[in-house]
Chains A and B, each alone.
Chain A
Amino acid sequence: MASTMGSRRATGTDGDAGTGRTKPHGDPRQPVTDVVSVKDVTFAYGETPAVSDVTLSIEEGDFLGLIGPNGSGKTTLLHLMLGLLAPDSGRVELFGEPVDEFTDGERIGYVSQKATSGGGGMPVTVRESVTMGRFAHAGHSRLDEDDRAAVSEAMETVGISGLADRRIGRLSGGQRQRAYIARALASEADLLALDEPTVGVDAESRDAFYALLDSLNESGITIVLIEHDIGVVTDRADRIACINTELFHHGDVDSFVESDALAEAYGATGQVVHHDH
């Protein structure tokens, strides 16, 4: 098991991490699998619509940036994609299966907003938290050598092997982020879903973190990232979905930059965050 993970990661890592825009979905001869497919999805909290009639798909190897103003339904849309919420209408598929029938939990690595900001008091070591990535594989049976090897390799990949026995709540924001990513890698996830992963992380660690995401994406992992910093998204992602309840734009970065989607989605309030990098 560990060896397949290693070989997958080994392919394509020699590409330029910063500009990796060459993705398999550009090739018309390759049969393209939708990792996530959202069709006409609507969801409301009571009477308040959060996501309205959104259709989009994420293809294998995509690095999709999901952006929109505060309260625009980004997190809700991500939760719908992952099956944490059921849509009021419309259809969501994960790896070609209806989301409520999807059972291969280990194929998705998810880092929630809460996980990144909190996690303070619970005494859990970094190794224990990364090992959780193997739980979906192991079920009720004991973890074996392969599992342990996958955990060690994942910690190695994100550079936190030295922190294995530290309590995760005592790490810096950037280190904790890496631990969560390692959990996803340990589970050999094909899809990495991240909800504002760098809130409270210093600028330097953040750049290193996004470089890590780039290289993981290069190695074939599909990424969907919610990020309030639009500069990061246009720099790092290769596709952008811009929503404010409705979908305002879904396409590659260039077409997004040229479109008016940003202004339309953010409206007159113009609360656009854009840091220079």
Chain B
Amino acid sequence: MAGLRRRIERLGIAATAALSALMVGFVLCYWLQDYPPLGAAYEQYRIAGQWLDYYLGTNVFRHPYMWQSIATGVLIGVVGPLVGTFLVHRQMALIGETLAHTAFAGVAVGFLAAGTLGWNGSPLLAALVVGILGALGVQWLAERTDAYGDVPIAIMLTGSFAVGTLIVSYGRGQTGISIEDYLFGNLAVVTPSGARLMTALSVAVVAGVALTYKQLLFITFDEQAARVARLNVSAYNTLLVVMTAVVVVGAMQVLGVILVAGMLVVPVAAASQLAGGFRETITLSVLAGQAAIAGGFALSIAAGLPSGGSIVVVAIGIYLAAIALSSRSVARLSTH
């Protein structure tokens, strides 16, 4: 029974890895389609998309911009739960939410810079810079106050959002772009450069977690013992918070500022109901994340609903199903 379960999980992870590689491949091929071999590969993606549409009776996969969104979504479904597993079990679930609001201020700065200074970079790049600065700020506060306590987090969250709204309001005359897409998420908002950014960030985050898995796990499980074992706890904490900011900025395009934390938390909560160990929790979280992304995209496209809300609603459905599946009580996670 346990062996079968492990085999299914392994299969799921292999499928996810293959899908992610396919998506990264698409983003690269689209980017470099002027180079003949990659251009040919890109054509194959287009043809595959048309066949998919033909078989499914949809009008989705033939459009390259949809592939950008799907690629971004698949990668969010990997890195969100991956980083989220550590956050949730360190009771830092709201860090993601906070950093999303910080990144929102960054988007606003980016728009303002574009409108007034003629800066032509992506607002996401500005969000990334401001998000990482916000992450370092959260870490600085956490080390000097009550570690990741509610109050510094709440101050950071509302403070950065307040600054964001002020900038948006100030820049309204000069910028023509709707901030709403960034608040609630929109599949159409994902640009090729946004998808490229997400790809680069995802590769960095997966590599970062793979390299520091042991240390992050030890600190998550027993921070004091990790300190005694002479792990550089503060450095790893900073890394985790910065990776969170990176994931949040990437995920913001599809999920929106307000809902981005859902992808860090909900699949992990679902997985924690069912998993026997930490590695299995990560595995199941990523699988739940993929399911939520797939279901959410389908819902969003079919019903013309915002992508962020659709994904989070599907994720919560998965969470409820996980509770029903497990004999454990809901209280377990919250009393941890």
Tally of contacts, chain A with chain B, CB under 8 A: 99
The residues of B that contact A129 with a CB separation of less than 8 Å are: 221
Proximity bits, A168-187, B CB within 8 Å = 1, else 0 = 01000000000000010001
Residue of A nearest to B279 (CB): A128
- Counting CB contacts under 8 A, is B276 at the interface? yes
Are A122 and B220 in contact (CB-based, < 8 A)? Answer: yes
The residues of B that contact A143 with a CB separation of less than 8 Å are: 214
**Contact A128 B230, CB 8 Å, known A110-B224, A123-B272, A140-B211:** no
- Counting CB contacts under 8 A, is A24 at the interface? no
Q: How far is the CA of A106 from the CA of B231 in the complex (A)?
A: 10
Are B281 and A123 in contact (CB-based, < 8 A)? Answer: yes
Residue of A nearest to B222 (CB): A115
Are B228 and A84 in contact (CB-based, < 8 A)? Answer: yes
The residues of B that contact A115 with a CB separation of less than 8 Å are: 222, 224-225
- Out of A104, A105, A167, name the residue touching B276 (CB < 8 Å): A167
- Counting CB contacts under 8 A, is B31 at the interface? no
Q: How far is the CA of A119 from the CA of B334 in the complex (A)?
A: 12
From B89, B228, B281, B333, residue with most partner A Cβ within 10 Å: B228
State which size class the interface on A falls in: 35 or more
Nearest CB of chain A from residue B253's CB, rounded to whole Å: 31
Are B335 and A110 in contact (CB-based, < 8 A)? Answer: no
The residues of B that contact A111 with a CB separation of less than 8 Å are: 225
Are B211 and A122 in contact (CB-based, < 8 A)? Answer: no
**Contact A165 B276, CB 8 Å, known A102-B230, A110-B228, A121-B335:** yes
- Counting CB contacts under 8 A, is A13 at the interface? no
How many residues on the B side are at the interface (Cβ–Cβ under 8 A)?
32
The residues of B that contact A125 with a CB separation of less than 8 Å are: 276-278
Residue of A nearest to B211 (CB): A140
Q: How far is the CA of A113 from the CA of B242 in the complex (A)?
A: 30
Nearest CB of chain B from residue A143's CB, rounded to whole Å: 8
**Contact A122 B218, CB 8 Å, known A105-B228, A110-B225, A128-B278:** no
- Counting CB contacts under 8 A, is A114 at the interface? yes
The residues of B that contact A127 with a CB separation of less than 8 Å are: 277
- Out of B218, B225, B230, B277, name the residue touching A167 (CB < 8 Å): B277
- Counting CB contacts under 8 A, is B144 at the interface? no
**Contact A123 B224, CB 8 Å, known A106-B229, A128-B217:** no
Q: How far is the CA of A241 from the CA of B310 in the complex (A)?
A: 61
- Counting CB contacts under 8 A, is B280 at the interface? yes
Q: Please give the residue numbers on chain A whose beta carbons come within 8 Å of chain B beta carbons, in ascending order.
A: 82-84, 102-106, 108, 110-112, 114-115, 118-125, 127-129, 132, 135-136, 138, 140, 143, 165-167, 169, 183, 187, 193
Q: Can you report 12 residue pairs joining A to B where beta carbons are below 8 Å apart?
A: A84-B224, A104-B230, A105-B228, A108-B229, A112-B222, A119-B221, A123-B89, A124-B217, A132-B221, A135-B231, A140-B215, A169-B336
Interchain residue pairs A-B with the least CB separation, the first 8: A121-B336, A105-B230, A105-B229, A125-B277, A110-B228, A136-B229, A135-B214, A112-B224
